[in-house]
Amino acid sequence: MVKFKRTVLACVLLIAPSLAQGPATFHPGFNLFSRQQDIQLGQESAAQVRRQMQVVRDPFLSDYVSRVGRRLANTPEARASGFPFTFEVVADRSINAFALPGGPMFINTGLLKAVDNEAELAGVMGHEMSHVILRHGTNQASKAQAIQLPLMLGSRIAGGSMLGRLGQLGIGLGANSVLLKFSRTAESQADLMGSHLMAESGYNPMAMARFFEKLSSQGGSRGLQFLSDHPNPGNRERAIEEEADKLPRRNYGYETGEFERMKRVVGGIHEPPPRTQAGG
Ligand SMILES: [Zn+2]
């Protein structure tokens, strides 16, 4: 049996490169939510995040992450999604970022402190943005609650808060939420689409691969938070490298020019003590 599996795997590995020539293309999977419901859910969830986490109101930092984010959001795949992306910094020492359905993205100060260049930050943000574009959160919720969701999403009597309605099905923002903790398939897609968004923005996609490699080799417990929300789909760095090779040749020299200043500003921010459970 083991031998048979190895043989099949060897064949797949031999055939795969000749079948897959161009860059990968992805489309959102099965989903019971409308796009508008993705946006509503994300906005309600973002309001909850702002109540529970410490949003950093520094105008320079907000502007900095928005500049990087808008550059990624201005690429064809991101624009085609039609989602209104927003970018905020939260004072949290774990090396992480997360994006809610429909567009709101939160970037931890721990991540800003951990990146060695702007392309690494763009890599994590491009990866998060890809989860939004591919609607992975509501896709996973749809698969988990395919029986009850149609009634609940179609119901007008409940009205009001979508987060409240979903809460009755056990769907929320807590630890291991289906909205924020992704499958390996979703991870693989977000890695590859993220590499496209980076390349189209002028950032070298290899920086994403290098950052993930760094996290898994020396991230420590703070870095493992990102990897626990975004599990390694397997051969992560190599898959990103191979995808980057399939993209049209470009100059990857883009930078806002504000990276060093960002590092100085974020270096002065002291995060609150770690919470027992992020997101509440
Ligand atoms: Zn991910």
Distance 100 CA to ligand 1 centre (A): 12
Please indicate whether residue 151 or residue 142 has the higher confidence score (pLDDT). Answer: 142
pLDDT in tens, 169-222: 888 877 678 788 889 999 999 999 999 999 999 999 999 999 999 888 876 666
- 7 domain-assigned: no
Enumerate residues 6+ apart whose C-beta is below 8 A from 18: none
**Domain span including residue 104:** 28-259
Q: How far is the CA of 187 from the centre of ligand 1 (A)?
A: 5
In angstroms, the CA 78 to CA 141 distance is 22
| Domains held by the chain: number | 1
278 assigned to some structural domain: no
If phi > 0 it is left, if psi is from -120 to 50 it is alpha, else beta; for residue 267 that is alpha
Residue 216 vs residues 92, 185, 204, 222, 237: alpha-carbon distances, Å: 19, 19, 20, 11, 11
Residue 154 counted as domain residue: yes
Distance in Å, CA 147 to ligand 1 centroid: 26
- pLDDT grade, residue 5 (50/70/90)? low
**Nearest residue to 129 (alpha-carbon basis) of 171, 84, 177, 183:** 84
Cα–ligand 1 centroid distance for 211 (angstroms): 13
Question: Cα of 225 to ligand 1 centre, how many Å?
Answer: 11
187 in a structural domain: yes
Cα(265)–Cα(261) distance, integer angstroms = 6
Ligand 1: centre distance to CA 177 (Å): 13
Cα(247) to ligand 1 centroid in Å equals 21
Could you give the CA distance from residue 209 to residue 242 in angstroms, rounded to a whole number? 11
CA angle 231/232/233 to nearest 5° reads 105
Which residue matches tokens 């100059």? 251
pLDDT tens digits along 8-28:
555 444 444 445 578 999 999
Q: Which residue has the tokens 């910094």?
A: 89
pTM of the model: 0.87
* 2 in any annotated domain: no
Residue 45 forms part of a structural domain: yes
CA of 1 to the centre of ligand 1 (A): 33
Domain presence at residue 247: yes
Distance 226 CA to ligand 1 centre (A): 8
21 assigned to some structural domain: no
Residue 89 near residue 58, CB atoms below 8 Å: yes
With a CB cutoff of 8 Å and minimum separation 6, the contacts of 184 are 231, 232, 233, 234
Instruction: Say how far apart CA 83 and CA 34 lie, in whole Å.
Output: 12
Please give the distance, rounded to the nearest whole angstrom, from the Cα atom of residue 189 to the centre of ligand 1. Answer: 9
